[in-house]
Amino acid sequence: MATPTLKQLDAFYWAATCANFSTAAQRLHLSVSSLSKRINELEQVVERTLFDRSGHRAVLTDDGEALLPAVVRVLESVAALQDSVARDEGLSGRLRFGVGELSALTWLPRFVAAVQKQHPKLALEPYVDVGAALEEKVDAGELDFAVIAGRSSRGSVLSQPVAEARFAWMAADALVGSERVLTPALIASHALVLLPSGSGVTRILDDWLLACGINHARRIACNNWSAVAGMLREGVGIGFLPVDWARARLGGDLVELASEPPLAPLPYAFQWRRGDVRGLIPSMLSLVRQHADFR
């Protein structure tokens, strides 16, 4: 039997683990037809049908499922060899990763600068969105990793804690007057200006409202932290902001409101797909841990 090529094994791995052939082709910088050709060639080499193509999307056959662990082991060995050879030169290729807007406003520029310095041959493609959308893209194979609030509940996605963000209730001085404590009466009188559902801060608000016994609050949802801060400064309502970020940039335009209980910190995790054996994952995890700081 002929020996499969590394390109054929790589094509099979991405096709087997991505949501569809189109996503797998994008990860390999191939057309879908070129990806399919490599898989067809591999099927001829191993004399097995690896994908069932009868449905609306190709799925692994039993032979394909059986072959995948062996392919992963081969690619792990190749990745270890490549890492050893390229240790002094840094990583190369293309890196697609996702972060939320708070990360983009705070530590993302420092992280990108550090990656460029250590890995000048690595092309970076940061993508900013809410956590739910980023996790979906990681699971589908569209992103190499994402830094998202909370751990993933998906069995196909692994998570490692990297940092946490702290928040404080804030409002315009003109809106709350001498009040410096957030009360149910204040919440009943004013809208809550916050990020939309799907963002990590939603769980902080829900937990806090539950602890306070508040069943209903009027909300204004906006998917941009700067816009939320701007509306709070204009007295549109009450909300919470990343405390270190707000103190550094907003000065005395807003006042902080104490609350009982206080808002819980929001843990952030580095998330990547289970089975991703490439050396860039531990390298990026290490750099994220060094630079993820929400101040």
Per-residue pLDDT of the chain (295 residues), as tens digits, is 678 999 999 999 989 988 889 988 988 888 999 999 999 999 999 999 999 998 888 899 999 999 998 998 898 888 777 777 666 667 888 899 999 999 999 999 999 999 999 999 999 999 999 888 999 999 999 999 999 998 888 888 999 999 999 999 999 999 988 889 998 888 889 999 998 887 778 888 889 999 988 888 899 999 889 999 999 999 999 999 998 888 877 667 789 999 999 999 999 999 999 888 788 899 999 999 999 998 8
Token code pair at residue 274: 């289970």
- Check residue 72 and give its pLDDT: 87
Is 171 found in the same domain as 250?
yes
pTM of this structure? 0.79
Is 96 found in the same domain as 217?
no
Is 118 found in the same domain as 176?
no
Helix (H) or strand (E) holding 172: strand 167-172
Is 156 found in the same domain as 101?
yes
Strands 157-165 vs 191-194: parallel, antiparallel or unpaired: unpaired
Helix (H) or strand (E) holding 1: none
Cβ-contact 171, 257 below 8 angstroms: yes
Is 144 found in the same domain as 80?
no
**Strand ranges in 196-280 using DSSP code E only, listed in sequence order:** 219-221, 237-242, 254-257, 266-273
What is the three-class DSSP state of 143? coil
Q: How far apart are CA 196 and CA 216, in angstroms?
A: 16
CATH of the domain at 249: 3.40.190.290
Answer with the one of 85, 111, 137 that is the final residue of a domain: 85
Q: Could you tell me if residue 48 is inside a domain?
A: yes
Closest CA to 103 of 137, 74, 134: 134
Q: Could you tell me if residue 1 is inside a domain?
A: no
Helix (H) or strand (E) holding 92: strand 92-99
- Check residue 251 and give its pLDDT: 67
- Check residue 96 and give its pLDDT: 95
- Check residue 259 and give its pLDDT: 92
Is 211 found in the same domain as 151?
no
Closest CA to 256 of 180, 191, 176: 180
Is 253 found in the same domain as 211?
yes
Is 48 found in the same domain as 15?
yes
Domain count, the chain: 3
CATH of the domain at 77: 1.10.10.10
Is 69 found in the same domain as 42?
yes
Show the domain range for 17. Answer: 6-85
Q: Could you tell me if residue 155 is inside a domain?
A: yes
Is 26 found in the same domain as 156?
no
Answer with the one of 35, 56, 85 that is the final residue of a domain: 85
Is 187 found in the same domain as 59?
no
CATH of the domain at 284: 3.40.190.10
- Check residue 290 and give its pLDDT: 96
Answer with the one of 60, 85, 110 that is the final residue of a domain: 85
Is 196 found in the same domain as 154?
no
Q: Could you tell me if residue 233 is inside a domain?
A: yes
Residues in the chain: 295
